[in-house]
Structure 1
Amino acid sequence: PRWGKVRLGRITRMDVDRWIAELSDDGASVRTKGGSLAPGTVEKIYQVFRKIIVAAYDEGRIARSPCPEHPPIPRKKRKVIRFLDEDQVVDLAGRIDGQYEAMIYIGAYGGFRIGELCALRVDDIDWTRGTIRVDEGLTDVGGLVAFEDPKTERAFRTVPMADLALEHLHTHLDARVDTDDARALLFTSPGGGILRPTNWRSRFFNPAVKAAKLEPLTPHDLRHTAASLFISAGANPWMLAEVLGHTDTRMIDRVYGHLFDKDREQLRQRMSDKARGATGNGEVIDLRERLNRPVT
C-alpha cells in the first residue's frame, strides 16, 4: 500500500497530488490491464483514503487534512471509437485464421464483449429464434482464467443475430465443434483449450486487422460495430441498451448518440408526411426549405 508505512501527520498536499497523478498516469505502478486507472476509479480510491484522513483530523490525531474534498484528477481524452461497415466486416473475417472467421461475424453482429465471446457455448444458441444467450463471461487476470456470471442483471441477455452471422457460425460448428456436447465452447484455442482474449488478440486479431489495412482496432471495436449496425437496422436507444447489456441508456447516448441523428431526421420526415397526408393535400413541402426561400 502506498501509505502503509507513512505517518498520517507527515502526509502533505503535495504527496497526495503526486499520488493521484501516479494513479492516473499510464506509467502508474497501480493500474488496470488496459493501462492507467479510469478517473472514476481514482476518485473512489481517493475518497476512501480521504475518509481515513478526515476521521484522523476529527479525532485530533493530525493538525490538518492534506486532502481537499475534490482531488485534481486529470480527465482522459475520449478515445476514438471505430466502427466497421458491413464490407469491412467481411474483409476482416476473410483475413483472420479460418478457425476464427465466424468469431468476427458473431462479434460484429452481436455486440458481445470479448470475454463473453470466449465463453459462448453450444446451448447458448437458439437456432429457431435466431438468438444467442449471454449468461457468463471469461476473465483473464494475472494469467488466471475463470468463467464468471455477468456483473449486472442486464448483462444476462439474449441477442438477436443476423442470418449471415448465424450461417457462418453453423459452418464453424459443423467443422470444428462437438455439437453433441451442449456445454462445448464455440471458440477455443488452436489446441482446443480455453481461448484467452489477450492471446487471441495478439496472435490472430491484430495480424488480420493489419492484413485488411484497417485503422488500428481492438476486439471491443467489434462491439461498437455491432452497435452501429443495430442502429442502422432501426434499434432505438432502449433496444440497443438491452442487446448490449447496459443498465440504462446513458452510455448509449454518450457513445452512440450521434449515430441516431439520421434516424431522428427520418422520423421527423415520416411524421411530416403522415400529417400532410391527413389534410388531403398530397404535396409535401419541407418547411425548412420554404423558410429559407428568399422573399419575392
Structure 2
Amino acid sequence: MRMQWGTVFPRKNREGKVSSWVARYTSPLDHSKKISKSFPIGQKALAYQWLEEEHALVDRAEMGLARWTPPSERVEREHGPTFEEYANQWIREYRLADGRRAEGATRRNLEADVSHLIRAFGGMEIGKIRRKELRDWYDAEHPEGPHSFHRQCARMKRILKAAEDGSVGEWGKLIQKSPWSFRLPPLPESGREDVEPVTPAELKKLYHAMPCYDRLIVYIAAVVGGLRIGEACALRKSDIDLDRLEMHVAHSVNRGSDDLGPNELCRTKTKKSNRVVPIPEVIVPFIREHIGRWCDPDDPMLFQARRADILSPTTVQQQFRAARKAAGRTDITFHTLRATHATMLLICGGTLRECMDELGHTSERIAIQHYQRIVPEHRRQAVERMAERMIA
C-alpha cells in the first residue's frame, strides 16, 4: 500500500498468503538505497507507526535539528534518556512561534528555567517521572520567584508533552500520556502597569542627565517607535532617513543565538518588531546635531560605544539609572519610555492599530495590558467631558 512518504506492503509466502508486513522508505543519505523493517502478520499498525517515526527523524535531520543515522547503526539503549538529556535536546530544538531560534534574554530565561528543572529531575529517566514526583516538586518552595516558577511549569508541561508525542531527538515516543495535570500557577501583579508615564518635563530632565554622547537615545525611545533598549542600541545611521522622516528598526543588540560572546547586531525580537516608523519633525534637529557632533563618520552606528564595536544595553541601563534620579523618577526603567510612547500616542489621537504598529506588536491584549498606562489628569478631563455631554 503506497503512502505519502514511504511504503508498507505485504510479503507473501510460496502459497501466496501474506506472511509479514514490510515498511520501507528511501535513504536520505543515498537515494539508491532503501531502508526497511519487517513486522509479523498481525502487526501492520506497528509497521505504519515505525514508518511515521522514521519520517519524523528524517524531517528533523533535514531541518538541521538532529543527525540522521540508519536504524542498523543506532545504538540500542537499555534505558530511556534521562530528563537532563531530553531537556537539553529540547532546548536545542526549541523554536519561537515564527520558527526562529530564541536569542538574547528569551534564550537566557529558557536555559535558566530548564536548569531549575534539571536540578530537580535531571538524573531520572524521563519515562519514569510520575505525577507524585511532579506534585512533590510543584508543592515545594521555589526561591527563584513566582515568575520563574510559572515559566518552569510551562516548560515542564511542554517537555513532557514532547516526550508523549515523540517530537524531540531520535528517541521517538517515550511515554504513553504526559503525567502533567497541574494548573499553571498564577502570575503575581508586577506593578509595572501602575507606573505612570514620563511627563514632558521629566523627559527633558532625563535627556539632560544622560551622557551628552548618548542622551539622544532617551528622546528616540520616547517619541520614535517606542523602541526597546536593544533596538535603540542597534540603530545605524543608515536606518535614519531624514528626507522621508522614517526610521527602520531592523536589528536588536544581544550576544547572539547562544547568548555568548560580545554584543552584536541580531534580529529583532519578533518578525513584527522589524518595522519602519515615522520620525517627528520636532526631533530632526536633535538627530542632526547628534550625528554631526558625536558620530565618527567611519562608524556605522548611531550610538557609538566608547570601548567596543557596539553600545551595550547594559551600559545604557546604567546611564539611565543615574539619570532617573536626577529626574526624580526612581520608579521608572528604560522600558517606561516605550510605555510612555504608546500611552501618549493614544492620548494624542492615535488608534490602537497604529500604536501596535509603532511598537511592533501583534497582540491587542499585550498592547493594552502592558503599554497603555493611565494618566490621571487626562482621565479626569475625559470623565468631565463625558459627563458634560451626557448631562448638559
TM class by shorter chain equals 0.7 to 0.9
- For residues 19-57 of structure 1, give each alpha carbon's deviation from its aligned partner in whole angstroms, at most 9, with x where no partner exists: 4578x95627xxxxxx95384674244232245369655
User: 1:138, 1:163 → 2: CA distance?
Assistant: 27
TM-score by length of 1: 0.73
Query: SS in structure 2 opposite 1:58?
Result: coil
Partner of 1:196: 312
| CA pair 135-48 structure 1, distance change in 2 beyond 3 A | same
RMSD: 3.5
Query: SS in structure 2 opposite 1:99?
Result: coil
TM-score by length of 2: 0.57
User: 1:7, 1:162 → 2: CA distance?
Assistant: 59
Contact kept? 1:21, 1:73, Cα under 8 Å: no
Q: Counterpart of 2:144 in structure 1: which amino acid?
A: G
Correspondence 1:1-296 to 2 at 5 A: 1=84, 2=118, 3-8=121-126, 11-17=129-135, 19=137, 25=142, 27=144, 36-37=147-148, 39=150, 42-52=153-163, 56=174, 58=176, 66-68=179-181, 70-81=182-193, 82=195, 83-110=197-224, 111-140=226-255, 141-179=259-297, 181=298, 184-191=300-307, 193-202=309-318, 204-256=319-371, 259=374, 286=388, 288-289=390-391
Partner of 1:293: none
Indicate the structure whose relative CO is greater, using CA pairs within 8 Å and at least 6 residues apart: 1
| CA pair 190-257 structure 1, distance change in 2 beyond 3 A | closer
User: 1:238, 1:7 → 2: CA distance?
Assistant: 48
Partner of 2:30: none
Contact kept? 1:93, 1:104, Cα under 8 Å: yes
User: 1:259, 1:236 → 2: CA distance?
Assistant: 16
The structural deviation recorded for 1:120 is 0.3
Contact kept? 1:39, 1:76, Cα under 8 Å: no
* Structure 2: gaps spanning 5 or more residues: 1-83, 85-117, 166-172
* Bigger Rg, structure 1 or 2: 2
The structural deviation recorded for 1:185 is 0.5
User: 2:158, 2:135 → 1: CA distance?
Assistant: 13
Partner of 1:62: none
Query: SS in structure 1 opposite 2:339?
Result: helix
Q: Counterpart of 2:360 in structure 1: which amino acid?
A: G
Query: SS in structure 2 opposite 1:93?
Result: helix
Q: How many residues align?
A: 259
Q: Counterpart of 1:27 in structure 2: which amino acid?
A: E
Moved more, 74-83 or 130-139: 74-83
Moved more, 1-10 or 245-254: 1-10
Contact kept? 1:109, 1:229, Cα under 8 Å: no
* Structure 1: gaps spanning 5 or more residues: 29-34, 60-64, 273-284, 291-296
Query: SS in structure 1 opposite 2:213?
Result: helix
Contact kept? 1:231, 1:260, Cα under 8 Å: no
User: 1:257, 1:96 → 2: CA distance?
Assistant: 26
